[in-house]
Amino acid sequence: MTCREFGPPVRIEDGGQQGLSVCELCFQGATAEQIAACEMISDPDDLEPELIEALEKQGYKGQTIIAFALR
C-alpha cells in the first residue's frame, strides 16, 4: 500500500523543509543520490492550473488528477 501511496520519489515541501517523499521499502539501502536519480517531476511545465481551468469551464469541478492524465 505504501508504494501505491508514494509511487516514485516526488519532491515535497513540509513546514518550509523540502525533500523527496519515498516508499522506504522500495528504496531500502539506497543512497540519497540514487533516490534523487529516480525523482519524478509531476508537472514540469506547470500546466495543471490551465488544464483545471479549462475543465471547470466545461462544468467539471472538484479535486482531480484528470489534468495530469490529459497532459
Q: Is the pLDDT higher at 67 or at 69?
A: 69
The pLDDT of 49-68, averaged and rounded, is 78
With CA atoms as reference, report the closest residue to 71 among 4, 49, 13. Answer: 49
Element (H, E) at 67: helix 66-70
Q: Classify burial at 61, counting beta carbons within 10 Å of its beta carbon; exposed 0-12, middle 13-18, buried 19 or more.
A: exposed
The pLDDT of 19-48, averaged and rounded, is 84
pLDDT given at position 66: 57
Percent of the chain with pLDDT over 90: 6
